[in-house]
Amino acid sequence: MEDIVTDFLCGFDSFQKDVNPQLLEKLRETQNPKALVIACSDSRVDPAILFSCSPGDIFVIRNVANIVPRYTPGSSIHGVSAAIEYAIVYLNVSHIILLGHSNCGGIASLYTEVKGEFIGPWVNILREVKEDIDVVYADLSEEERRRCCEMEAMRVSYSNLKTFPFIHERLKTGTLSLHTWFFDLRDAKLVHLDMEQELPIDILFDTL
């Protein structure tokens, strides 16, 4: 435990030495990121590291399986929706990047039937996708079906993003762009996915 804490503190010392003081001065009072990145909480998929970002470059939302729920206003507490609203309405980002990845534990939990007080209900947002894939691709291995689910789950979040009125309006006027990228941990490849079309089978399985 002490070793990892020491490593973190040494890492921060390095950050302090290397960071541009003019950049910190600029960011002290405000931020002006150009992109909102919605990524998984997985420790292996940090968007700031993957994209070599500096402080202030991106506004990031991370959760289990990079899920975006539907726009559902009401009295419930909506952490993801609040962060989306802040990025779009108040920071006026011009790009949303939905970042999925291979070997996702959140997607795997759909297959291992992990319950959990919070994990089960959260990933159940994707339950229908998983069940559809199991039917359509019943002749494939579980590994292949999970890969398919990892990518098709992004279609759910992609569609759900467009249910937010302030996103729908900006997409319509062309002041906001929506991107869907998939990071493969095996070969560090980044695949750009077109969620307006069915994903070809060679994209789904070409790196298995």
Spell out the domain ranges in the chain: 32-205
Q: What tens-digit pLDDT sequence spans the chain (208 residues)?
A: 568 999 998 998 999 898 888 998 999 989 999 999 999 999 999 999 999 999 999 999 999 999 999 999 987 889 999 999 999 999 999 999 999 999 999 999 999 877 789 999 999 999 999 999 999 989 999 999 999 999 999 999 999 999 999 999 999 999 999 999 999 998 899 999 988 887 655 555 554 4
Q: Is the pTM of this model over 0.85?
A: yes
Alpha-carbon distance values, 129 to 41, 134, 150, 153, 176 (Å): 21, 9, 10, 7, 27
Q: Looking at domain 32-205, which CATH architecture does it have?
A: 3-Layer(aba) Sandwich (3.40)
Closest Cα partner for 128 from 149, 158, 105? 149
